[in-house]
Structure 1
Amino acid sequence: MKNYKKTNSTIWSGRTSNDQLYLHEKITCVDLENNELPENEQTAFAILGYACEEGVKRNLGRIGTESAPDLIRKMIGSLSNHLDKSVKTIDAGNIYCIENDLEKTQSITSDKVFQLIKNKYFNIILGGGHDLAYAHYNGIRKHLPDTCIGIINLDAHFDLRTVNDKGNSGTPFYQISKENDRFKYLCLGIQEESNNKILFQTAQKLGVEYIKNTDFNIENKNHIATVIDNFINDIDVVYLTIDLDGFSSSFAPGVSAPSPFGFSTDIALFTIEHICNSGKLISTDIVELNPIYDLDNCTARLAARLVYYIMKFISTS
């Protein structure tokens, strides 16, 4: 089995029309390894799958994220299409973890991220475990080696665990911090119950900014917007990563680490739109969907709606 495969176009399905009324009718599946990437001059999106759960296994999490990218695609396909006809959207395929080799999978992912950004596509990567972040960041870094890249993470967890042997889904931002002189990281939705004292100490030592879940709500949106603006003003580009386990389990039951005290969709959408409107967002991902524990595809549908709104906000900002 290969680490990379073109997506089977039959995954994209739904109602049909003669005028691209549904998103599945707007998607073109391409093979990044056979020169099928269309030239791009205007707003264009690339959906790439990270079908990997090795990092979650290493982090002793509940496995099941490997099948998430294709399920999210199915949920996206049936959504109504309100994007302008000039907006191009491609499916850039899936990356798989073979023989538990997470490091090779991350390296391949970084190369694909670089390829897409170099060709002026806005990436929306579907995970998979949050170990995707290490690969995703390095792909951006490869394209912009001298640029200050700020990371904004919507998440219940810092994912700043130290690397004892090999990286996992709990270590990506620690790994990034150790390999980059300028580490800019803002985490929104942090839960005390889900991060031990050492992780808070690590965050303080590394200069990580964060807002706890108790303050990450729509009533506090003005303060949140100010924190985001101050963070963005100090960087060149933004990499946005959204961990579905940051949402309340009433919205996202199908994750590896569900939480009844997570944040709501209203503050998440407000935050995402605010970041998109900054003009500095370069790439994004959505991680940690676990279909095995989902209820009526509730979490997969949430992920699909997030993809839709990101495309909407980016194409109109």
Structure 2
Amino acid sequence: MDNLVKKVKEGIWSGRTDHLENKESFRYHQIVELAQLDTLDTEGKACVIIGFESDEGVRRNKGQIGAAKAPNELRSELAKLPWHVSSEKYVVDIGTIDCTGNDLEKAQQQLGDVVNQVLTKKMTPIILGGGHETAYGHYLGVRNYIGKAAKLGIINIDAHFDLRPYDEQPSSGTMFRQILEQDENSSYFVLGIQRYGNTQALFDKADELGVIYICEEDMHGEQLVQVNKAIEEFFQNNDFIMLTLCTDVLNAAFAPGVSASSPFGLSPNTVRSIIRIVSSNEKTLSFDISEVNPLLDENNRTVKLGAYLVNEAITSFLN
């Protein structure tokens, strides 16, 4: 299995050191352990970081490539953050899956294999994409782990449905249609949909496939009470949950470095709140972040925000 992933570059997990022995002063770079998948110690509660270097799906979807650069950039920013989790819990980085050439389908299957192995070891996969095609490999691993009969709920924080046809080939815009048409025990809930970021045909397809969705304009202020109720109902109707974040859901003022930015997006605080609620639920198995594009970023703002949101997921899973 270890031949599927390449090791993390030396120096990625580095940063300021306030104290060498006092764990209350530690940052991520002092906590994260580098390990191989086959030798992971399953004692104790842990999150396992998996990189997925791919923007082949974005290229096929005629988007702006560059998200393949995100995993290591996210690691570098995450490394600097203070650690606020109890000492018996930890984070392991097992490396990165690289989508070589145009063989997206192979890379997604490899990601699925690794996610399944991590879940089998009773650990929590934290996947750093990559284009949002990351989510399909993520799904393959979760479904393999829970079996065909379990009800899987997919929560996607996203401006777009990603329900486009995949007759010619899959892309970063087709994953959830692939899942819903191939897996009768899956259900799909999207938070942050942009009314003018999706065609009417995609809204119609969402209705046809039974997709639950809440538009961005309905996710502000007091409306969030109803959003939280909808999330809770979705949990009740499913056996397991996987969480995926497409960072183009964020307002472009906060996240300019994404593959498809929007001036009408969610605030970081709203996205953080959703991540906390979903990741802290015992039914949630895993998390991925996608579409951070360092090549389009301004002063590393989006990468830094992405790392903060990954931290929210890790902290919620472990606390």
Give the 3 Å change call, closer, same or farther, for CA 266–218 of structure 1 in structure 2.
farther
2:202 matches 1:202: no
1:183 is the counterpart of 2:186: yes
Residue 93 of structure 1 is matched in structure 2 by 95
Q: TM-score, normalised by structure 2?
A: 0.95
- 1:266 and 1:52 map into 2 onto residues whose CA distance is 28
The residue aligned with 2:51 is 49
Q: Deviations over 1:123-176 (max 9, x none)?
A: 110000111111111100111113111000000000010102110000000111
- Structure 1 alignment gaps of length 5 or more: none
Within the candidate set 17, 23, 27, 2:28 is matched to: 23
Aligned to 2:12: 11
| Aligned-partner SS, 1:266 | helix
**For residues 3 and 41 of structure 1, what CA distance do their matches in structure 2 show?**
24
**Could you tell me how far 1:42 is from its partner in structure 2?**
2.3
Is 1:193 the equivalent of 2:177? no
| CA shift for structure 1 position 279 | 1.7
Shift, 1:275, TM fit: 1.5
**Cα RMSD over matched residues?**
1.2
Q: Could you list the per-position Cα deviations for residues 227-259 of structure 1 after superposition, in whole angstroms to 9, with x for gaps in the alignment?
A: 111111000111000000000011110001011
Alpha-carbon distance in 1 for matches of 2:288, 2:171: 17
* Map of 2:62 onto structure 1: 60
Distance in 1 (alpha carbons) for counterparts of 2:79 and 2:233: 36
TM-score scaled by length of structure 1: 0.96
Letter in 1 for 2:185: R
Alpha-carbon separation, structure 1, partners of 2:32 and 2:278: 25
- Secondary structure of 1:222's aligned partner: helix
Q: Which residue of 2 aligns with 1:238?
A: 241
* 1:275 equivalent in structure 2: 278
8 Å Cα contact 2:158/2:190 also seen in 1 = yes
Q: Which runs of 5+ in 2 are unaligned?
A: none
Q: What is the one-letter code of the residue matched to 1:225?
A: N
Q: Alignment identity in percent?
A: 39
Cα distance, 1:40 vs structure 2:
1.7
